[in-house]
A and B are shown apart, each in its own frame.
Chain A
Amino acid sequence: MDVVVDNVTQVWGGENGVTALDSFSHRFRSRRFSCILGPSGCGKSTLIQIVGGLEEATSGTVRVVDPTHPDAVRRLGSDSVMVWQNLNLFPWRSVIDNVVFGLEMRGVARSVRYERAHALIASVGLQGFENHRPGQLSGGMRQRVALARALIMERAILLMDEPFAALDAQTKIVMQEELLRIFDATHKTVLFVTHAIDEAILLGDEVVVMTARPGRIKEVIPVELPRPRSLEMINSPEFGGLFDRVFHLIRDEVMKTMQQQAAKAVA
């Protein structure tokens, strides 16, 4: 599924409000891993929520296009599923009941949904924890629950909003490898929001670098590292070159954000 974002602008708080996103246009290609990178407040979370049909854009359109049936109209949100920055697991539900949530809402028979959930829980390495509540798990394990809850939906598009931002460095590495493995196995279309340059390059087929607020596209950088990717690639000269390029693009924007915040603090 391609995600075609056309001239999307998002303004919070009416006429004279804050412009979070400004005329964002990009075609996210089918079965590719796209990372959206930018300083905080650049509207990247807003963008993927609009793509997921969870926020209404102030202006502009988002279409999901099946490349084999380019004329079919698809309802926004029906081809995608979100993995949230703060996970949004249901604290009163056990691991397995969190994972089956989407199927339960869809009315899938109990035995079918539990069977599928068991398989997915095993595949993300959580067997034995089916009946724990999220509050009883570590951060990395909760992350796996959130991933399984999204994957069970079998949607073509995976929207990920800084999913690993809250994890410690080691857990983050493990989860990145896990995600690479899942991507190689399923080849979903992934839109992955992050503010970590190395993460964006390691995971992505392209890095969409955004400007400070209002968020526009600064540059789209293709990442041609071979797949399957592995963590060792971080030491390659190609990776280093890409990192430098992205770093210089993003540094100016981070400086701008800091100046904006300083100006706001003075005013």
Chain B
Amino acid sequence: MSRHAGRSTTRWAEATLPALTVVLFLLAWEVMVRWRGIAPIFLPPPSSIAVYLWRMIADGTMEYHLGVTLLRIFAGFLLAAVSGIALGVLMGMSRVVARVADVWIAALYPLPKISLIPLLIIWLGTGEAYRIVISAVTAFFPIVISTYSGIRQADRGLTKAAKDLGANTRQIQMKVIIPAAMPSILSGLQLGMGVTIILIVAAEMIGGSSQSGMGYLLINSGQVMETEKVFASLVVLAVMGAVIIKLQQWIDRKVAPWAMQDDR
């Protein structure tokens, strides 16, 4: 009886406490700003951030900038995913490709990709191409590396079993090694998505000629000291990131359910 009651209390706490801490934090923030009379240009209260956020949504600015940013994120991510998985698979299948690519990856992977921004702006200008390329280049590396290591670490026992059951080399690659590498590929895609979001927003902040996107909105609002808009944009960015990550986790569970903990 008591153990059962204890469990349901824990479950109740698990469900409500996270939300409760957020509410308490916002409340403390609001009270402190009003009580100490902090200037809104420095730290606006949550209530007025909410008002600004609502206005920006109502007049469509937020939707516009968010939409543009999302499109860029998906373009960069798609480019990185396709090229990264393709090269990773090729590396896994061919020792020669692996040797050659390994040199380039070892040299370029540790380089902070943001440091490529000046060069890319010189080569590509400040339009869409530069933003998508910088994010794709950054996301490319974790995707290639995870794909390659997933393929290399494919269980030897499974490939032997497939061979015993009459699979030829090509069938072993397609029907055993690639599915076996799937969980690793998916975790590479998660890492890739994370850096794509960062790089797109950063690139929108630097030298954006198109004057659009969440990064632009942030930097522009900051420059004109509209701190409420800065916070409103941050809130939207945080929600966007969380939604993308949850969506990706949901897709991963659909694509590779066997790789999940609860399968055991």
Contacts and interface: CB of A to CB of B under 8 A. Distances in A.
Interface in A77-113: 77, 81-82, 84, 86, 88, 90-92, 101-102, 104-106
Interface in B107-128: none
A147 B259 CA distance: 24
Contact of A92 (B161, B168, B179): B179
Contacts of B155: 88
A52 B166 CA distance: 11
Contacts of B164: 52, 54, 77, 81-82
B251 to A, nearest CB: 16
B192 to A, nearest CB: 22
Contacts of A222: none
Contact of B258 (A49, A88, A92, A153): A92
B151 to A, nearest CB: 15
Nearest to A52: B164
A105 B258 contact: no
Interface in B138-189: 155, 157-158, 160-168, 171, 175-176, 179-180, 182
Given A91-B258, A92-B256, A135-B258, A84 B263 contact: no
Contacts of A81: 164-165
B3 interface: no
Contact of A84 (B161, B163, B166, B171): B161
Contacts of A52: 164
Contact of A133 (B157, B176, B180, B258): B258
Contacts of B254: none
A106 B258 CA distance: 25
A153 B163 CA distance: 13
B4 interface: no
A135 B158 contact: no
Interface residues of A, number: 22
Given A102-B165, A105-B171, A90 B263 contact: no
B162 A101 contact: yes
Contacts of B171: 105
Interface in B64-103: none
Given A91-B258, A92-B182, A133-B263, A105 B161 contact: no
Contacts of B157: 84, 86, 88
Given A92-B179, A92-B182, A133-B263, A54 B163 contact: yes
Interface in A50-70: 52, 54
Contact of B158 (A82, A90, A104): A90
Interface core residue of A77, A88, A102 (most chain B CB under 10 Å): A88
Interface core residue of B161, B176, B256 (most chain A CB under 10 Å): B161
A106 B155 CA distance: 22
Contacts of A91: 258-259
Interface core residue of A49, A84, A91, A102 (most chain B CB under 10 Å): A91
A135 to B, nearest CB: 4
A106 B166 CA distance: 7
Nearest to A86: B157
B241 interface: no
A171 interface: no
A88 B161 contact: yes
Contacts of A105: 162, 165-168, 171, 175
Nearest to B172: A105
B209 to A, nearest CB: 46
A42 B109 CA distance: 46
A149 interface: yes
A66 B180 CA distance: 37
Nearest to B255: A92
Interface in A6-50: 49
A93 B258 CA distance: 9
Contacts of B264: 135
Contacts of A82: 161, 164
B257 interface: yes
A233 B257 CA distance: 45
A186 interface: no
Contacts of B182: 92
Contacts of A136: 263
A101 B166 CA distance: 9
Top 8 A-B pairs ranked by shortest CB distance? Answer: A88-B161, A102-B165, A135-B263, A105-B167, A91-B258, A88-B157, A82-B164, A105-B166
Interface of B: 155, 157-158, 160-168, 171, 175-176, 179-180, 182, 256-259, 263-264
Interface of A: 49, 52, 54, 77, 81-82, 84, 86, 88, 90-92, 101-102, 104-106, 133, 135-136, 149, 153
Given A54-B163, A90-B162, 13 more contacts: A54-B164, A81-B164, A82-B164, A86-B157, A88-B160, A88-B161, A90-B176, A101-B162, A101-B165, A102-B165, A104-B175, A105-B165, A133-B263
